[in-house]
Amino acid sequence: MLRRNFLLLLGLGALLGSAYAEPLSKKTDIDFFRDVPSRNLKGLATRSDGRLVAGPTLTEIAAKPPADLLWCLEPTADTNTWLIGSGPEGRIIEITFDGTNPGYKTRDVVKLDDPQVFAVRRLADGAILAGTSPKGALYLIRDDSVVARTALPVDSIFDLVVVDEITALASTGNPGRIYKIDLAKFAAAGVGTEKVTDTALLAERGITVFGEIRDRNVRRIVALPDGRIAAGSAPKGNIYTFPREGGAPVILQENRDAEVTDLLPQPNGDLYATVVFTSTSNESRITPPASKSGRDTKDDTPPPAVPERFSGRSALIWFPANGFAENLTARSNTAFYRVLRRGDMLLIAGGEQGELLGYDLKARLSLSFAGSLSAQLNGFAPMGGTDKFLVLRNNAPGLAILEFKSGGPREAETRRLDLQVSSRLGALRFNRQRNLANADVTPEIRTSNGGDEIEGWAPWSSLTVSPDAGWRGENIRGRYVKLRIRIADSAPAAGFEIDRLSLFALPQNRRPVLQEFRVLTPGYGVIAAHEQPPPAVVTVSSLLQGPKEDDRRRSAFLASQVVPSPGTQMILWTVTDPDGDITLSTLSIRRDGDTVWTDVAKETRDGYAQFDTKNMPDGVYFTRLVATETAPRPAGERLSQTFETDDLVVDHTPPEIMEATAVANGASVIVTVHGRDQLSLLEGIEVIFNNSVRETVEQPIDGVRDGREETFVLEVPLARVSNANSLEVTLYDLAGNGTAKRLTW
């Protein structure tokens, strides 16, 4: 109703000159999806519509990491045992959970000759197929021993796919190829130490080229239900499909400056892909750079992943079996590494801030889950069901458990929110709570006056709900705010939602500021232009921004006409209030030596004053501007600021001509005037010859017009004034007073 009345009265209120100001209090909207980092979630999730919902818990396993770099995770026949490909020592590690100890047991399965093990696959007979970098070697391990090894003519093997009991595929980098592996021939070929570049020799070892792309790396490969092979590349980030028997690829999607980090096929033929887009032509932090010294170097190991700020973005892309590609979700400054399906939800392991993300396929909404302390989450796998997952993490390395149905604390904490100015906090209001009573929710808040994320914060303060459903605390002040929401154990385990929040605050009242003060040249007045009426049509923009009465007032004044007006003095000023308060200004003057101030403009909203100085004695007058806040600021809170402003000189006395001469010298007439003034600086001379030639001089002979005593010289060609024999010269001061004298030659 208030807004409706405002629309009706907007034009009338401006015409009547009513004072309008924005509310003194401010509202900060809190969007959980935007304002809550992944690491600040426990047992909760944020959704892309800004709401807080139930989510999983992430438990970091407090145990010594099995290696410095953990690249891939592979399940085994035992649901409590997994294989990990690691670096930089080239070990394949077996980890086992016994179900009673929160830690895990580790066992070195084998140590390979290459530093990095990027791909590990368990075969049906229990053997292990592994791919390494930077030598690009393919290994077959059986009973913890290497039984076959072939160094391919590539730098890295990134991914492995077991097609059937006798066939596997390997994707490589530098160059980007897919090799087909006859597992029986490869096992019989034994261990080779040298890199094999001849295709015939590779074929003898059971390895043939399945397909090749022009991009440098084939990062991921998967088998589709119809037998085709899907592949993703880097550093272009293209996505391809290859025929069942290999050959030339078909591009599903072309990208640039990107890396396909994972592919997830579906039984119905759909395909999901995670793509990381970078701001440069380099691949993301997983893919090693191209070798600079040749493929057979021994020391060209890829650098370990480092937690530097990632400036790229990532996208989750859906390729329907019979349709066009569609971007489902994207994140800036986040790298998507692996994707896994859980019912109607896709789980995404991320990087930069250890993000664990989700995408609801039915609701088509993105989610953020509790994140890890590590900077990269390189993989995850189910732990015997759909509610518990093992997470592989890097930077720092280790393991974590993601569990969807578990007890424990449920809370969410916002990042540091900047209120822009120190404020007294008012109510925190929930837009809506679904399936949650007030007793199940505990909001807490803490504040700081400094921008440091850690130091200088006040203790957490609990908020209590008031009868009007607002949550309030006692005398909480600060500029920066963090909010924490806790959900009680008695609340429902799932199905609840908390909508966006609104935090109200009263900013610190700051004093008005004088931005500009000008004493204009005397002798000129202003005929004020009429203020333009507001537009007849009210737009949504004007409704949201509010009426700009001060802007209209200033625009009207700047369009005013300036006219000569002897004895009139004009003074302009601009006063602003940092908080948008309406201010009234009082301009006062006092003659030097007097004690009483005289108001020439009192409590005006105009930024100027115009007054007559004809009856004022000559002299220097001090000026003072007092700016005071007014309604709607309550009377007891109104601030006032006094500004000692520029001096005003009232000067009705003309300057004195101390010496004036006009001399014909050869081909010129030289006019010299020396004068002085008691109060004002001298401005120049005007010379009028009796043949109507008129000249002015404003530059004194010493080059700087800066004194009350100056000498001005005018030199005029004699030919121009040859028919003249006298002139009238007038000496002016800056107050507009002049003294005239006639000269002859």
Report pLDDT digits (tens) over 102-132: 788 999 999 999 999 999 999 999 999 999 9
| Same domain, residue pair 646 and 561 | yes
Q: For residues 731 and 675, is the Cβ–Cβ distance under 8 A? A: yes
297 pLDDT tier (thresholds 50, 70, 90): very low
Q: Which of 507, 526, 550 is the last residue of a domain?
A: 507
What is the residue whose two structure tokens read 């021994």? 298
The C-alpha atoms of residue 335 and residue 355 are separated, in whole angstroms, by 9
Q: Which of 625, 650, 675 is the last residue of a domain?
A: 650
Mean pLDDT of the chain: 89
Report pLDDT digits (tens) over 176-197: 999 999 999 999 999 999 999 9
Beta strands in 352-440 (DSSP E): 356-360, 365-369, 376-382, 388-394, 398-403, 410-413, 417-430, 433-434
Q: What is the mean pLDDT of residues 421-425?
A: 95
Kindly write down the DSSP assignment for every residue of 333-344, as one continuous string. T-EEEEEEEETT
Angle (nearest 5°) at CA 706 between 702 and 708: 100
310 pLDDT tier (thresholds 50, 70, 90): confident
CB atoms within 10 A of CB 250: 11
Q: Is the pLDDT of residue 703 over 90?
A: yes
638 pLDDT tier (thresholds 50, 70, 90): very high
Q: What is the mean pLDDT of residues 586-610?
A: 95
CATH number of the domain to which 470 belongs? 2.60.120
Handedness of CA 450, 453, 459, 464 (dihedral sign): positive
Residue 195 lies in a domain: no
DSSP 43: S
| Same domain, residue pair 518 and 641 | yes
Q: What pLDDT sits at residue 5?
A: 40
Beta bridge pairs of residue 149: 139, 191
| Same domain, residue pair 637 and 571 | yes
CA dihedral 680, 684, 689, 695 (to 10 degrees): -150
Q: Which of 507, 523, 538 is the last residue of a domain?
A: 507
| Same domain, residue pair 494 and 520 | no
Q: What pLDDT sits at residue 287?
A: 54
299 pLDDT tier (thresholds 50, 70, 90): very low
Q: For residues 697 and 674, is the Cβ–Cβ distance under 8 A? A: no
| Same domain, residue pair 538 and 638 | yes
Structure tokens at 108: 């070195």
Q: What pLDDT sits at residue 74?
A: 94
Report pLDDT digits (tens) over 443-470: 999 999 999 989 999 999 999 999 888 9
Residue 504: exposed, middle, or buried by beta-carbon count in 10 A (0-12, 13-18, 19+)?
Answer: middle
The C-alpha atoms of residue 646 and residue 316 are separated, in whole angstroms, by 64
The parent domain of residue 708 ranges over 656-744
CATH number of the domain to which 732 belongs? 2.60.40.10
Q: Is the pLDDT of residue 42 over 80?
A: yes
Report pLDDT digits (tens) over 728-739: 999 999 998 999
Q: What is the mean pLDDT of residues 596-609?
A: 95
Structure tokens at 444: 């807490």
The C-alpha atoms of residue 416 and residue 688 are separated, in whole angstroms, by 73
Residue 377 lies in a domain: no
Report pLDDT digits (tens) over 644-654: 999 999 999 99
Residue 569 lies in a domain: yes
Compute φ and ψ for 143, nearest 5 degrees: 55, 45
List of residues 6+ apart from 415 with CB closer than 8 A:
35, 36, 37, 40, 482
550 pLDDT tier (thresholds 50, 70, 90): low
Residue 175 lies in a domain: no
Residue 601 lies in a domain: yes
53 pLDDT tier (thresholds 50, 70, 90): very high
Q: What is the mean pLDDT of residues 331-347?
A: 95
Q: Is the pLDDT of residue 597 over 50?
A: yes
Report pLDDT digits (tens) over 1-31: 334 343 333 333 333 334 455 788 999 999 9
b/e per residue, 40-77, with b = 16+ CB within 10 A?
bbbbbbbbbebbbbbbbbbbbbeeebbbebbbbbbeee
Is 207 strand, coil or helix? strand
Report pLDDT digits (tens) over 661-697: 999 988 899 999 999 999 999 999 999 999 999 999 9
Report pLDDT digits (tens) over 90-104: 999 999 987 666 788
Residue 619 lies in a domain: yes
Q: Is the pLDDT of residue 278 over 80?
A: yes
Residue 495 lies in a domain: yes
Q: What pLDDT sits at residue 132?
A: 97
Q: Per the structure, how many domains does the chain have?
A: 3
| Same domain, residue pair 676 and 615 | no
DSSP 298: S
| Same domain, residue pair 521 and 613 | yes
DSSP 544: H
Q: What residue type is 211 in one-letter code?
A: G
296 pLDDT tier (thresholds 50, 70, 90): very low
Q: Which of 102-106, 158-162, 544-548 has the lowest mean pLDDT?
A: 544-548
Q: Is the pLDDT of residue 629 over 50?
A: yes
DSSP 701: T
| Same domain, residue pair 638 and 523 | yes
Q: What pLDDT sits at residue 16?
A: 33
Q: What residue type is 364 in one-letter code?
A: R
Residue 605 lies in a domain: yes
What is the residue whose two structure tokens read 């896994």? 340
| Same domain, residue pair 503 and 545 | no
Q: What pLDDT sits at residue 493?
A: 87
Handedness of CA 69, 72, 75, 79 (dihedral sign): positive
Q: What pLDDT sits at residue 100?
A: 64
| Same domain, residue pair 520 and 612 | yes
| Same domain, residue pair 431 and 497 | yes
The C-alpha atoms of residue 226 and residue 367 are separated, in whole angstroms, by 32
Q: For residues 721 and 714, is the Cβ–Cβ distance under 8 A? A: no
Q: Which of 25-34, 313-322, 382-391, 652-661 has the lowest mean pLDDT?
A: 382-391
> Which carries the bigger pLDDT value, residue 696 or residue 553?
696
Q: What is the mean pLDDT of residues 388-411?
A: 91
| Same domain, residue pair 429 and 532 | no
Q: For residues 564 and 524, is the Cβ–Cβ distance under 8 A? A: yes
Q: What is the mean pLDDT of residues 394-412?
A: 90
The share of the chain scoring above pLDDT 70, in percent, equals: 90
Structure tokens at 610: 């115009």
List of residues 6+ apart from 731 with CB closer than 8 A:
654, 655, 657, 673, 675, 682, 684, 685, 712, 738, 739, 741
Q: What is the mean pLDDT of residues 240-259?
A: 96
